[in-house]
């Protein structure tokens, strides 16, 4: 009977040295080699013959001097230049032409070029191609990093899944391209470059497990020196040795059931890999320590040491840090020294409203927070507040059902406390609710991801009149001081723009129904809405103004606007925008040295902007004649900011393709937001309701204005023709 193997194959002994040079000859299936027809004799200018073909389809290659197949990871293949020489049979003396495009699309390599050689080899390729000969493209490449995939292991490369044993060329470099004819053996899909396995041109192979272990430890192999790789491999091998190894007992064999045999063998469950378990524990511990270190940020070092040594999780560390800092925080709203009940009740209401304890703890001291979190005030609501106001005013109330008499008594007590208060510690109904509403509104306002405040400068004005703002610019530059020591006067020039505040606001009402229902949540939905509406109002005003482009702020005449087919966001258009920025001059023609810092894009360009900011290598050479650098020259330069307001159809001037390059508004601002007397957040104020209404009301409002400021601090690209 055939046997079923019940134990995995033993691991392949790692092959540490393999040849670095190899050649790809794709011979599977029919060739897609195409050659353009020659131009007629005597045609001027003479048209060079062009060709195109697929050189590699991302599969396994059988290479000489490699014990297992090789898969070239196309994501890691580098192309030094799009114009590579085309040879005949890899002979540098037999020139055929050169490539014009090499396209790596993640699953294949596509070549295009011209037969530019003027010799018999070029003519042979051309004439044979005219006769239908299926030339093959052979790519000569060198590998910088090889990974061994063990027997039974799987790896995904080039959008395909492969099972070991095999090698994966993680990083490689294209050297040259040759026209070759297939040999007699049709099964040979690749051949090795000249040179024996003992050639000095060899590389060290990493095991798949070692590569995965390095990745789990946040190491990038390409950035490590040979000595570092050797030390890390020794550490990895030691960990595997300490973690135990597979038993040396011979593999057990299980017979396949014959006819009539009903015995079912028990499923074999492989034991957990102790190395994987150790790796997981180590990775988890490193992440825990890193998070705790970032949390404390060099504050409370003794507390940080205890957190690391005693194995605290992040939640425990945050709680202990909060407790340690409460005593150091000065409360925003505190009693005058005769009692803390009002502040504690206010803090308890904030927590009941859903504000995080960590945030509320920054507003009140430790004793107030401890009382707010006590069982006495836990879950505080409107009913408790009404009772405490009545008691503080000298009245008496028995907790129970809330009716009109209790509500009236609370309002009478509130008035009595306000009228008789002269710095005395009290519990004020309007004061506490106003403070809670304000905190709730501010928390919601700050939670909105504001783009306007990131791209605009900020200033303060004293009233609602239109104001004229001035920028003073110096005329000329420093001049050499003569022997007499006299300094020449430098002139000042004024540049002006206008701004004016406006007010946005809504009303809030605490109704009789809310108080009877003890519905603190319903009451606080309104300040939450006001906080959010205030933030959205600011965003809409800023972007409506930006898209309106008042006074042709962005224009070719101002040298801060460009358009055309090549203005879509990419490396080239970003280079143009940067050059426009850096070439800006003052009225005397002198550079102003304003540096771009931000790229503002609509949602359709968010991913592109983030890739241009983060990605370093470029893996594709385009088919056209537009040269691209191998590395992204703008990586890390311009922080991407995305706003949906740029492309929303309800605002005139919207565009899903236009983008902006901006200076840091703290340096030179293209736009300015003006606030009233330093108040840069919305305001809530309490007031009385109508005489026949049992309740209270609040008004929330926000004073700000927006204006275009300095056209030299921004460049706009239309993004299309």
pLDDT band at 381 (very low <50, low <70, confident <90, very high): confident
pLDDT band at 138 (very low <50, low <70, confident <90, very high): confident
699 CB-near residues (< 8 Å, 6+ apart): 505, 506, 507, 508, 684, 685, 687
Helix (H) or strand (E) holding 450: none
**Segment 68-116, tens digit of pLDDT:** 888 999 888 888 888 888 888 888 888 889 888 888 887 788 888 888 8
Show the tokens assigned to 220. 């990038």
Distance CA 421, CA 418 (A): 5
Average pLDDT score over the chain = 75
Distance CA 128, CA 132 (A): 6
| 165-179, 192-206, 372-386, 615-629: the lowest-pLDDT one | 192-206
Distance CA 673, CA 497 (A): 12
Percentage, residues of the chain above pLDDT 90? 13
**Segment 26-58, tens digit of pLDDT:** 644 345 777 777 666 666 666 788 888 888 888
Measure the CA dihedral 659/660/664/666, to 10°: -110
Q: Are strands 70-72 and 166-180 parallel, antiparallel or unpaired?
A: parallel
Q: What are the DSSP calls for 271-335, one per residue?
A: PP-HHHHHHHHHHHHHHHHHHHHHHHTTSSHHHHHHHHHTT--HHHHHHHHHHHHHTTPPPSS--
Which pLDDT does position 438 carry in this prediction?
A: 79
pLDDT band at 145 (very low <50, low <70, confident <90, very high): confident
Show the tokens assigned to 350. 């904030």
Which pLDDT does position 3 carry in this prediction?
A: 46
Which pLDDT does position 206 carry in this prediction?
A: 72
pLDDT band at 688 (very low <50, low <70, confident <90, very high): low
Which pLDDT does position 402 carry in this prediction?
A: 66
Peptide bond into 45 cis (omega under 30): yes
Mean pLDDT of 486-499: 59
Distance CA 470, CA 58 (A): 63
Distance CA 582, CA 430 (A): 56
Is the pLDDT score of 331 beyond 60? Answer: no
Mean pLDDT of 336-363: 75
C-beta separation of 681 from 442 below 8 A: yes
- Does residue 118 or residue 2 have the better pLDDT? 118
Which of 113, 117, 150, 137 is CA-nearest to residue 35?
A: 113
Which pLDDT does position 469 carry in this prediction?
A: 64
Peptide bond into 165 cis (omega under 30): yes
pLDDT band at 137 (very low <50, low <70, confident <90, very high): confident
Which pLDDT does position 190 carry in this prediction?
A: 34
**Segment 458-475, tens digit of pLDDT:** 888 887 777 776 554 545
C-beta separation of 51 from 34 below 8 A: yes
Radius of gyration of the chain (CA): 37
Distance CA 698, CA 681 (A): 16
Residue 131, phi then psi, degrees to nearest 5: -85, 0
Distance CA 399, CA 17 (A): 84
Would you call 223 helix, strand, or coil by DSSP? helix
2 CB-near residues (< 8 Å, 6+ apart): 256
Is the pLDDT score of 183 beyond 60? Answer: no
Is the pLDDT score of 332 beyond 50? Answer: no
Angle subtended by helix axes 341-352 and 429-447, to nearest 10? 40
C-beta separation of 87 from 99 below 8 A: no
C-beta separation of 23 from 143 below 8 A: no
DSSP state of 569: S
**Segment 282-308, tens digit of pLDDT:** 888 888 888 888 888 777 888 888 888
Show the tokens assigned to 114. 């011209």
Which pLDDT does position 327 carry in this prediction?
A: 41
CA separation (Å) from 365 to 328, 347, 373, 375? 7, 10, 12, 18
Distance CA 123, CA 49 (A): 11
pLDDT band at 13 (very low <50, low <70, confident <90, very high): low
C-beta separation of 334 from 423 below 8 A: no
Which pLDDT does position 273 carry in this prediction?
A: 61
Measure the CA dihedral 492/497/498/499, to 10°: -100
Which pLDDT does position 500 carry in this prediction?
A: 77
CA separation (Å) from 631 to 614, 615, 628? 12, 9, 9
Is the pLDDT score of 671 beyond 80? Answer: yes
For tokens 């299980």, the residue is: 254
Mean pLDDT of 408-436: 59
447 CB-near residues (< 8 Å, 6+ apart): 531
**Segment 539-576, tens digit of pLDDT:** 999 999 999 999 999 999 989 999 998 899 999 999 99
**Segment 226-237, tens digit of pLDDT:** 667 776 777 777
User: What is the CA angle 241-242-246, rounded to 5?
Assistant: 55
679 CB-near residues (< 8 Å, 6+ apart): 703
* 520 backbone φψ class: left, alpha, beta (φ>0; ψ -120 to 50): alpha
- Does residue 509 or residue 608 have the better pLDDT? 608
Query: Would you list the domain boundaries of the chain?
Result: 9-232, 277-326, 341-447, 565-668
Q: Residue ranges of the alpha helices (H) in 563-684?
A: 571-582, 606-614
Would you call 278 helix, strand, or coil by DSSP? helix
Q: How many helices (H) and strands (E) does the chain have?
A: 17, 29
- State the distance between the two ends of the chain, measured CA to CA, in whole angstroms: 74
């Amino acid at each position: 009977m055939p046997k079923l193997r019940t134990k995995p194959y033993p691991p392949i002994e790692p092959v540490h040295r393999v040849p670095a040079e190899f050649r790809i000859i794709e011979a599977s299936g029919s060739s897609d080699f195409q050659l353009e027809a020659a131009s007629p004799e005597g045609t001027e200018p003479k048209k060079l013959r062009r060709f195109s073909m697929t050189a590699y389809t991302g599969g396994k290659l059988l290479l000489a001097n490699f014990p297992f197949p090789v898969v070239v990871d196309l994501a890691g293949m580098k192309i030094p230049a799009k114009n590579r020489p085309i040879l005949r049979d890899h002979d540098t003396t037999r020139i055929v032409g050169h490539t014009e495009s090499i396209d790596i699309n993640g699953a294949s390599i596509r070549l295009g070029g011209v037969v530019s050689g003027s010799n018999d080899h070029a003519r042979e390729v051309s004439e044979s191609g005219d006769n239908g000969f299926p030339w093959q493209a052979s790519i000569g490449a060198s590998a910088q990093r090889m990974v061994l995939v063990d027997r039974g292991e799987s790896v995904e490369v080039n959008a395909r899944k492969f099972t070991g044993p095999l090698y994966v060329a993680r990083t490689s470099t294209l050297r040259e391209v040759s026209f070759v004819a297939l040999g007699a053996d049709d099964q040979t899909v690749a051949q090795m470059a000249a040179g024996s396995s003992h050639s000095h041109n060899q590389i060290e192979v990493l095991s798949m497990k070692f590569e995965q272990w390095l990745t789990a430890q946040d190491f990038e192999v390409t950035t490590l020196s040979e000595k570092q790789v050797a030390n890390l491999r020794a550490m990895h091998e030691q960990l595997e040795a300490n973690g135990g190894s597979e038993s040396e007992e011979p593999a057990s064999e299980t017979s396949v059931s014959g006819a009539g045999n009903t015995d079912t063998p028990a499923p074999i469950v492989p034991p957990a890999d102790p190395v994987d378990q150790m790796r997981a524990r180590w990775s988890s511990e490193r992440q825990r320590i890193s998070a705790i270190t970032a949390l404390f940020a060099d504050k409370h070092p003794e507390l940080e040491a205890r957190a690391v040594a005693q194995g605290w999780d992040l939640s425990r560390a945050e709680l202990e840090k909060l407790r340690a800092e409460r005593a150091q925080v000065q409360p925003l709203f505190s009693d005058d020294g005769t009692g803390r009940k009002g502040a504690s009740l206010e803090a308890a209401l904030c927590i009941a409203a859903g504000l995080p304890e960590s945030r509320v703890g920054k507003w009140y001291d430790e004793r107030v927070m401890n009382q707010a979190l006590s069982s006495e005030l836990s879950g505080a609501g409107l009913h408790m507040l009404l009772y405490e106001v009545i008691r503080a005013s000298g009245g008496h109330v028995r907790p129970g059902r809330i009716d009109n008499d209790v509500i009236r008594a609370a309002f009478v007590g509130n008035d009595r406390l306000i009228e008789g208060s002269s710095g005395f510690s009290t519990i004020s109904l309007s004061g506490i609710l106003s403070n809670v509403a304000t905190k709730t509104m501010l928390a919601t306002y700050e939670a909105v991801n504001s783009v306007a405040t990131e791209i605009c400068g900020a200033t303060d004005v004293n009233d609602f009149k239109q104001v004229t703002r001035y920028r003073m610019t110096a005329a000329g530059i420093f001049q050499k001081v003569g022997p007499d020591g006299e300094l020449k006067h430098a002139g000042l020039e004024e540049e002006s723009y206008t701004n004016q505040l406006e007010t946005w606001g809504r009303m809030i009402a605490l109704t009789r129904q809310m108080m009877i229902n003890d519905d603190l949540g319903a009451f606080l939905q309104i300040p939450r809405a006001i906080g959010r509406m205030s933030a959205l109002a600011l965003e809409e005003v800023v972007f409506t103004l930006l898209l309106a482009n008042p006074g042709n702020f962005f224009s070719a005449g101002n040298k801060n606007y460009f358009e055309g087919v090549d203005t879509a966001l990419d490396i080239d258009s970003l280079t143009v925008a940067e050059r426009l920025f850096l070439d800006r001059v003052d009225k005397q023609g002198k550079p102003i040295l304003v540096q771009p810092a931000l790229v503002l894009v609509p949602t359709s360009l968010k991913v592109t902007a983030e890739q241009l900011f983060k990605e370093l290598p470029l893996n594709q050479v385009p088919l056209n004649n537009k040269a691209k650098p191998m590395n992204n020259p703008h990586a890390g330069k311009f922080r991407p900011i995305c706003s949906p307001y740029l492309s929303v159809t309800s605002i005139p001037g919207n565009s899903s393709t236009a983008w902006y390059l901006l200076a840091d508004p703290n340096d030179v601002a293209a736009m300015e937001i003006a606030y009233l007397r330093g108040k840069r957040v919305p305001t809530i104020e309490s007031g009385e309701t109508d005489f026949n209404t049992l309740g209270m009301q609040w008004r929330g409002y926000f004073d700000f204005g927006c204006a275009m400021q300095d056209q030299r601090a921004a460049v706009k690209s239309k993004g299309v023709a």
